[in-house]
Structure 1
């Protein structure tokens, strides 16, 4: 799409070339667009669809910076079970599918695919959009992940965790 994908705007390949960065309002609008897309897939499609690979490079941005969920190679149709739980009726393969950092640990443990997995991946994406770090950022050490880093930093104040480019943008607009 004309404005590429979210990954290119959150993590420009070369920080030195003054590439356009997303401001807070743009990030919030993109988050809302993604939520609306998943609302449609999960609640308005028959049968519901689990996208199964939510990550910034799968969020495409059009001319108006409207976000569109893309890449449905791993998507699954959810079939209803008699107890009203939604699940994918086929057995999952032993190979892990999805993108590291955005998939749930239960996925690797043989759990069933569900729309809840998209919701959990969405939470990870929201954290990434606000703090500006990938879920498996090289600055995280040992078994620390984006959730733990955020939780630890929030205890010292929200400004310690927010993407510095958002702070710069706010200072530039008010200054």
Structure 2
């Protein structure tokens, strides 16, 4: 009952003590590369469950950092299903709707602006933008994206300057870690660059303009786990080298 002793219905979520991913990316700004990859994998598993494992496919329609909440152990949970759509039947490829654009500017799939029905591929687009934001700490609505968008900005950097678009605090954190252990091996640094590049590639592939060109969420999970493996191998080499020098 409310303060007037009238009955009302409430949707109650489990309390997430670490708040939203948006806060950690744009206020606290101290997520390590491994934490970012782990969070990306958590969200990918959540999408895979919604799209393929919970009976009728559920499209979230508003995936963004503010709707990713973090548990006390920093495990990510997808929240806020206010715009979610349950797909109880197969969609015709040319089916359209007059429903207003679903989602948040910057994260919403371009086909929604053309009246397309809610679809898992649109969630994949939002997820791709989320991945790129995870690595760059730049919002898709940043003022710098007046003539291009976060997708094109990241895609253009894939050739030879990925590290220049990555969150600078992330690079500083990783470099300090290498220096503190007195390990200067090029292999460790190359592994980290390989991990970052792979995650950015996945983000770009997921946020392609055409839905048919976007990755499948099952493939995203496999590729992200590979990126995590590359990073863990790097950390294991660091630890081993530190022990042998003692």
- For Structure 1 versus Structure 2, the TM-score category normalised by the shorter chain is 0.7 to 0.9
Residue segments in structure 2 that go unaligned for 5+ positions in a row: 1-15, 180-246
Corresponding residue number in structure 2 for 1:168: 172
Corresponding residue number in structure 2 for 1:153: 157
For 1:157 and 1:111, locate their aligned partners in 2 and report how far apart those are by CA, in whole Å.
Answer: 35
Spell out the pairing of 1:73-152 with structure 2 (5 A cutoff): 73-81=82-90, 85=91, 91-93=97-99, 95-142=100-147, 144-152=148-156
- Decide whether the 8 Å contact of 2:57 with 2:87 is kept in 1: yes
For 2:60 and 2:146, locate their aligned partners in 1 and report how far apart those are by CA, in whole Å.
Answer: 29
For 1:67 and 1:86, locate their aligned partners in 2 and report how far apart those are by CA, in whole Å.
Answer: 33
Corresponding residue number in structure 1 for 2:32: 23
Corresponding residue number in structure 1 for 2:53: 44
Corresponding residue number in structure 1 for 2:24: 9
- 1:96 CA displacement: 2.2
Cα gap change, 1:111/1:91 in structure 2, threshold over 3 Å: closer, same or farther? closer
Cα gap change, 1:166/1:20 in structure 2, threshold over 3 Å: closer, same or farther? closer
Give the TM-score of the pair, scaled to structure 1.
0.87
Cα gap change, 1:20/1:10 in structure 2, threshold over 3 Å: closer, same or farther? closer
- Decide whether the 8 Å contact of 1:6 with 1:59 is kept in 2: yes
For 2:120 and 2:98, locate their aligned partners in 1 and report how far apart those are by CA, in whole Å.
Answer: 15
For 1:77 and 1:86, locate their aligned partners in 2 and report how far apart those are by CA, in whole Å.
Answer: 15
For this pair of structures, how many residues does the alignment match? 163
User: Runs ≥4 in structure 1, deviation > 6 angstroms?
Assistant: none
For 2:176 and 2:120, locate their aligned partners in 1 and report how far apart those are by CA, in whole Å.
Answer: 40
- 1:168 CA displacement: 0.9
Corresponding residue number in structure 2 for 1:15: none
Corresponding residue number in structure 2 for 1:16: none
Range that drifts further, 99-108 or 156-165: 156-165
Higher helix share: 2
Q: Deviations over 1:48-69 (max 9, x none)?
A: 1000000000000000000000
Residue segments in structure 1 that go unaligned for 5+ positions in a row: 13-18
For 2:121 and 2:92, locate their aligned partners in 1 and report how far apart those are by CA, in whole Å.
Answer: 10
Give the TM-score of the pair, scaled to structure 2.
0.63
- 1:174 CA displacement: 1.2
Q: Whose radius of gyration is greater, 1 or 2?
A: 2
